[in-house]
Amino acid sequence: MQTLNHNHLFYFWVVANERSIARASELLHVTPQTISAQLKLLQEALEVRLFEKEGRGLRLTDSGRVTKSYADGIFALSRELRAALRGEPAGEVRELRVGISDALPKRACRRILQPALHMHEAIRLVCREDGVERLLAGLALHNLDLVLDDSPIPPGLSVRAYNHLLGQCGVVWVGSPEIARRYGKRFPSDLKDAPFLLPTVNTALRRSLDLWFEEANVRPRVVAEIADSALLQAFGEDGEGIFPVTEVMLEEVRERMRVEPLGVAEGVVERFYAITVDRRIRHPAVVEISRHARDALFESDPPIGPARSRNHRGPA
């Protein structure tokens, strides 16, 4: 293989970050043709294809993702070298690269990851949200240190990784004050014909909620199925329907939004898994995240019983 040209690698790195040759050319003040020529030379030197077309932009191939991971480290070391030669402290910061399943509630993920930002060792948190299969592929390629999901690794995926249960918590139905007054007095019998906002059917939480509906003899009128939890909650705050919130986040959601609880979905729990390539967690930030989740954030063993229902701090 030819000697690696760092100038070619730098052009690749900028394009990889921008996902566009046009935007990279604006940043670098060179023509798109120049960048394309540099990328072609790099691909010939590495004997791999680094990008694929995706709409009007570019997407990294598997080889491109590996190359970018190394380029991130190379140019970080380059910055440290310049700082050292100027007599400045290097200020090395360790990264924690986290993949967050698009099925998970993002506020809960923030609470899970927050301890990493308050460690004695400086940690830079790099988060990416995507479908779990894509995230696990990134984990297998060592582009991620950790994947957060609501389920263990799906069967049938040829990914060598390990599940670490961070914790689990119950689920509460909430809605706008108007929704709560109308449907929360005799929960769950008043839920007939009530509008519901639900996560999409490919999530573990949705499967558990569907079972709760069946056992509680509630036929939901589903007005929307929304993968993104923040968007789902935004519709809920506007009074479009009843939606689920994890108990661990209930007080924070009530402080941020005009919503009230109707009742608990008895027997339904949302689980949070940390998935890593190591059987024993090694990254210090993941160790701290796991410790805090077990000791302070989640119930150690919440009751899981039949889908009975009880009021949860009834509507105001």
Locate 203 and state its tokens.
Answer: 């999530």
* Mean pLDDT, residues 27-34 taken together: 87
What's this model's pTM, rounded to 2 decimal places?
0.63
Sequence-separated (6 or more) residues with CB below 8 Å from residue 211: 267, 268, 307
Q: Above 80 in pLDDT, residue 315? A: no
Rounded Cα distance between 280 and 287, Å, is: 10
Instruction: At 280, list the tokens.
Output: 């024993």
pLDDT in the model for residue 311: 39
Architecture label for domain 94-316: 3-Layer(aba) Sandwich (3.40)
Q: CB–CB of 297/174 below 8 Å?
A: no
Q: How far apart are the first and last CA of the chain?
A: 70
Instruction: Yes or no: say if 244 and 265 are a contact pair by the CB < 8 Å rule.
Output: yes
Instruction: Give CA–CA dist 205/130, Å, rounded.
Output: 17
Separation of alpha carbons 44 and 52, rounded Å: 16
Phi/psi for 129 (5° steps) reads -105, 135
CATH class of 6-85: mainly alpha
* Residue of higher predicted confidence among 40 and 85: 40
| Interval 181-229: pLDDT, tens | 998 888 998 898 899 999 998 888 999 999 999 999 999 899 999 988 8
Q: Which two tokens stand for residue 221?
A: 């009128």
Q: Where do the domains of the chain lie?
A: 6-85, 94-316
Report which of residues 93 and 245 the model is more confident about. 245
- Is residue 33 predicted with pLDDT exceeding 70? yes
For all residues of the chain together, what is the average pLDDT?
85
Phi and psi (nearest 5°) for 176?
-60, 160
Q: Which two tokens stand for residue 102?
A: 């698009």
Integer Cα distance of 68 and 80 in angstroms:
18
Same fold across 6-85 and 94-316: no
273-287 confidence digits (pLDDT tens):
999 998 888 888 999
Backbone angles phi, psi at 111, to 5 degrees: -65, -35
Specify the pLDDT at position 132: 87
Most confident segment among 53-67, 210-224, 246-260: 210-224
Model confidence at 314: pLDDT above 90: no
The tens digit of pLDDT for each residue in 144-165 reads 999 999 999 877 777 788 999 9
Query: What is the per-residue pLDDT for 308?
Result: 32
Segment 69-89, tens digit of pLDDT: 888 878 877 777 776 676 655
Spatial CA neighbour of 260 closest among 159, 175, 171, 135? 175
